Structure 1
Amino acid sequence: MSVVPCLVDKWSEENNSIVLTWKQNERGLEPNQGVLKRCCSESRKLLQKIQGIPAAPERLALEMTVSYNTFLFSLSVSEASEIEAGLTHSLLRALEAAGSQVSCSDPVQLWEAVLQTLGSSVCVPYVHKLLLIQWMLWLMQCQLERVLALLMQTDHKRERSAPLNLQTETRNLALSMEEDSSLMVAMAAKDLKDLLHVCTVICQGVEQMKMEKYFEALDIFQEAKGLPSPRRLLAQIHNLTGQSFAKRGQPHCALHFYRKAVEVDCACHSALYQSALVFRQLGNTKAEMEALHLLYSAVQLQSDKNSSCASLVSPATLLGGEQMTFISRVPSPSLILHTLAHTCVSNGSISDGVEYYLDLLASLQTDGKDIIHTGDGTSFPRIPVVYLEAGFALLKAKRFSDALVVCEDVVTSTLDFIPERLMLDADEKQNVASYDVILQNVDYVLWAGAAHLLQAQAHWNLKDTKEAITNFTRAINTVVKVFIKQKDWKQKHLGNTEALVERIMTLEVAKGQALAGRGLCFLEKGQLKEALRDLHLSLQMTPGCKTFKMLLSEVLWRLDRREEASAHWRETHSTSDAPKSVNLPLYLQLWPDDTTFDFSELKKKVVEYIEAKKS
């Protein structure tokens, strides 16, 4: 009979030794994940020894404490289902020790039996520790109804005048948090209960946000702010409060809480990202770029750190993958960098935008990504688009030779994918598979054509008119590979969606720009008939463009067609630019805005001609 007490003492010392090892590791500046795994392994072995003999009341406190520690150690190294099975086994053994035989597969019913049998015994603090484990497992899976059913069973005597409510249950929950000084635990029950409480409230708030009940979510987050919580979790509560205000159309309130989130925890990247979105909505470009720059720097800093931190129970684990994705969603570093580069260039900060684009291209090359087949065009643009945008930015920065090199990468990578001719029928309804192939082929043509167009503009700016004409011609020859049978295709739904219509219209704009560019080159060389032909064609592709009309006036004047030239001139100055019929990609927005052609002499001559006619 004296063997059992000896075993209890020995196993208690073994448990305390394991926990002490963990505690010493946890206090270190950089807790070691290997120590956590070792503690988990040793605790499991100890639990197996204890459960290798029949359950008994005198060992119940020890067994439940070791079970509690083992489940906590296992959290980051085991599946939740494995911990759930171990918990069920521990509960059945507890009932067995109390002389109660229960065989049921439903965890809620099992807990009801455990709490009824042991709820008034000296083992209550140990039972409640395992109840926290169950709460934790169900919270991780966002099974809030099960959590409510579990917590309601802890106090059958309390009168409930109000409807069943998880917030009320967690707020009024009475659990025995007493600790046994002879049995050490990996995490104090009170600390775990507090963390579970605040995470449960946050989970409820997120669920309200998903249902677009933002007013109710704000009430819940207000309660969460008053609960004990880690600094990083408090920052996320402020962040979620800001997101709720943003969704309710109160951007300035949202910015206030995003700022509080970053003040509480500078690593709350989601708050920085959400701030950038609000600044974009408010049209505050400078603040948006500052927020994006801070976000990119913060993300880079975090990725450079060696994250060897080991944590028993983290808020990220408790809130589950789906919840945390919703709470702390932040784009990838590449997407942040692309957004920053695109925003800078779109808003005139060309030199900054160029540097961001070059950093982005360097990171893409370091990652070994295929320029054609990487990027799905949804979260991150297709990589040829990124290269074309970089080429555009380099042109704007007058780094013409660099632009040529970047665009050449697009030309060579698309060469083997461009179809000889792509005939489209506006009357024909495509199936999904063939439609996707058509879209992809049109993209190849567009990317290659745009690359030649940007190269032509670079040669033009380098005063190499011959190479400019060659590349404008290549751009034209590329984009005309896509041909539509019907002349009235713009009035029809081409294919299955508007996506193809927009791409074809973008091709038309590219073709118009290439024709105008070549026409300008012919004008410079004095080849007026060729210039007239190309400029007429360009205006068919891009009607209403004032710069192209003025170039046409210049050509007509030099051909001594004064009346036509002055008519085009008057038309150009009496109307504004026609609204763009398509939302052009960034890389097609350079030409003709940066056309360096002096129209002052033409203006003087036309004005004199018009005045002379009046007199």
Structure 2
Amino acid sequence: MKKRQPSFLQRWTTENNRLVQQYLTEDHNGLTLQSEFQRLVKEIQGLPPRIPSLCVELPVVFNLCYLQYTSKPQGGADLSTALCGALQRVLRASQSGQAVLTVERLLNPDPDVTVLLKHVIQLAQGTDLVEPVCLLATLLALRLLGSQRDKSSAILQTVKTCKTQTSSESEGNTAASGKGCVIQPHLIPSCVLGTDEDSRCQHPPVEYLLACCYYLDGNTAVCLQELERPAADQQFLPASYLKGYVLYGEKRYEESILALQDCLSSPVLDMCSKARVLNLMGCCCAQQGKPHTAVQLFREALQCDFSLHMALYNISLQYRALGLGDVELETLNLLVTL
């Protein structure tokens, strides 16, 4: 009996998962992976968009765009075009000929992204498209964070609303294991998104990115509100550090130290990041009039990363505060020779 050939969706899913697993190995070649994902995206998008195939297509597009973003964070216009194009294919797949005319403005090369996203999320409700759509939108918001912050914030608010609406549905769901033909719709390591290593992330860290928008706009009060919401993932390392940094700027040093201690308890904290956390904790202690504790923290920071010269400079400032001018000069001389 002739062996049955796998369907297009099965083959694309298997190929995506193979590339994802390859990405997760430490010795992968980024350029080769990008080329492989580009080939796969080109093959998938050679066919008209349909809802079943989009459940595979959107994760693959996200994987490609994520690789491109991590290799070149500014991404350029091509990255934004690819992300918007993927969202537009959902619209095309869901609309009949006459209905398309009513949303024609959303299918042009430069659509209103926030309006497009709202349409797409509405169409995706009740399907497996919601998660990859939110991931694509979040990556687009991240791409626009530096240049078009208002648009980035609007996108994140839309994703956050979608996340709130679907959280009850996803609660208690088990994570995809990645075995067989189960799609793995993102390349982001689970630890980056603040989830357990064995689980599949259901939502990107929207609260954290929104907090970044508010902080960059100088709205520290709303930034802190976003970081302190119950929905925010307090174990997400960058969120805890941002909270500590903002509280330090607000001269709320004790609260800042508590937030930074959450960073130190994170299992994904690398030595360079730990050095910066300890340095900021030292700054808090220095502002509280605790120079001896501050010096100890700055020294621990240098033990983690001796290239963090600001910690060495901070030590010299504390020696000055203690009236140890000779030791201060020795520290500054060491800093000059580095």
Q: How does 1:241-390 map to 2 (within 5 A)?
A: 241-247=281-287, 249-265=289-305, 268-285=308-325, 287-288=327-328, 336-337=336-337
Partner of 1:194: 194
Partner of 1:74: 68
Check conservation: 1:194, 1:229, Cα contact below 8 A: no
Deviation of the 1:49 alpha carbon: 2.5
Q: SS of the counterpart of 2:162?
A: coil
Deviation of the 1:155 alpha carbon: 3.8
Bigger Cα displacement from structure 2, 285-294 vs 130-139: 285-294
Alignment partner of 1:45 out of 5, 14, 39: 39
Name the amino acid aligned to 2:31: K
Cα distance in 2 for residues equivalent to 1:157 and 1:7: 32
Check conservation: 1:135, 1:150, Cα contact below 8 A: no
Partner of 2:19: 18
Alignment partner of 1:83 out of 62, 74, 79: 79
Deviation of the 1:283 alpha carbon: 3.7
Partner of 1:65: 59
Cα distance in 2 for residues equivalent to 1:272 and 1:176: 48
TM-score (norm 1): 0.37
Deviation of the 1:130 alpha carbon: 2.7
Name the amino acid aligned to 1:124: V
Deviation of the 1:70 alpha carbon: 0.5
Query: Given the superposition, is the C-alpha separation of residues 110 and 233 from structure 1 closer, same or farther in structure 2, using an over 3 Å criterion?
Result: farther
Check conservation: 1:55, 1:97, Cα contact below 8 A: yes
Query: Given the superposition, is the C-alpha separation of residues 270 and 107 from structure 1 closer, same or farther in structure 2, using an over 3 Å criterion?
Result: farther
Q: How does 1:195-594 map to 2 (within 5 A)?
A: 197-203=236-242, 205-206=244-245, 212-215=249-252, 218=256, 220-222=259-261, 224-225=263-264, 229-231=268-270, 232-247=272-287, 249-265=289-305, 268-285=308-325, 287-288=327-328, 336-337=336-337
Name the amino acid aligned to 2:122: Q
Check conservation: 1:64, 1:126, Cα contact below 8 A: yes
Name the amino acid aligned to 2:59: T
Larger Rg: 1
Bigger Cα displacement from structure 2, 190-199 vs 135-144: 135-144
Alignment partner of 2:93 out of 83, 97, 100: 97
Name the amino acid aligned to 1:8: L
Deviation of the 1:47 alpha carbon: 1.4
- 5+ residue gaps, structure 2: 196-204, 206-235
Alignment partner of 1:55 out of 49, 60, 65: 49
Query: Given the superposition, is the C-alpha separation of residues 73 and 147 from structure 1 closer, same or farther in structure 2, using an over 3 Å criterion?
Result: same
Query: Given the superposition, is the C-alpha separation of residues 223 and 137 from structure 1 closer, same or farther in structure 2, using an over 3 Å criterion?
Result: farther
Cα distance in 1 for residues equivalent to 2:319 and 2:295: 9
Listed one character per residue, the Cα deviations across residues 69-114 of structure 1 (whole Å, up to 9, x for unaligned) are: 1122112434334323321211222233344855444434433333
Listed one character per residue, the Cα deviations across residues 365-388 of structure 1 (whole Å, up to 9, x for unaligned) are: xxxxxxxxxxxxxxxxxxxxxxxx
Name the amino acid aligned to 2:190: K
Check conservation: 2:285, 2:293, Cα contact below 8 A: yes
Q: SS of the counterpart of 2:39?
A: helix
Check conservation: 2:63, 2:185, Cα contact below 8 A: yes
Cα distance in 2 for residues equivalent to 1:141 and 1:88: 17
Query: Given the superposition, is the C-alpha separation of residues 287 and 124 from structure 1 closer, same or farther in structure 2, using an over 3 Å criterion?
Result: farther
Name the amino acid aligned to 1:254: A
Deviation of the 1:56 alpha carbon: 0.9
Check conservation: 1:235, 1:264, Cα contact below 8 A: yes
Cα distance in 2 for residues equivalent to 1:205 and 1:90: 37
Which structure is richer in relative contact order (CA contacts within 8 A, separation 6 or more)?
Answer: 2
Q: How does 1:159-198 map to 2 (within 5 A)?
A: 178-179=175-176, 180-181=178-179, 182=181, 183-184=183-184, 187-188=187-188, 190-194=190-194, 197-198=236-237
Listed one character per residue, the Cα deviations across residues 377-400 of structure 1 (whole Å, up to 9, x for unaligned) are: xxxxxxxxxxxxxxxxxxxxxxxx
Identical pairs, percent: 22
Check conservation: 2:237, 2:269, Cα contact below 8 A: no
Cα distance in 2 for residues equivalent to 1:238 and 1:58: 49
Deviation of the 1:43 alpha carbon: 1.3
Check conservation: 1:276, 1:292, Cα contact below 8 A: yes
Partner of 2:218: none
Alignment partner of 1:36 out of 25, 30, 37: 30
Partner of 1:321: none
TM-score (norm 2): 0.62
Q: How many residues are matched?
A: 273
Check conservation: 2:20, 2:187, Cα contact below 8 A: no
Deviation of the 1:66 alpha carbon: 0.8
Query: Given the superposition, is the C-alpha separation of residues 202 and 142 from structure 1 closer, same or farther in structure 2, using an over 3 Å criterion?
Result: farther
Cα distance in 2 for residues equivalent to 1:230 and 1:58: 39
Query: Given the superposition, is the C-alpha separation of residues 200 and 54 from structure 1 closer, same or farther in structure 2, using an over 3 Å criterion?
Result: farther
Query: Given the superposition, is the C-alpha separation of residues 175 and 155 from structure 1 closer, same or farther in structure 2, using an over 3 Å criterion?
Result: farther
Q: SS of the counterpart of 1:72?
A: helix
Q: SS of the counterpart of 2:71?
A: coil
- 5+ residue gaps, structure 1: 159-172, 297-335, 341-615
Check conservation: 2:80, 2:143, Cα contact below 8 A: yes
Partner of 1:152: 160
Cα distance in 2 for residues equivalent to 1:49 and 1:92: 18
Structural RMSD (CA): 4.1
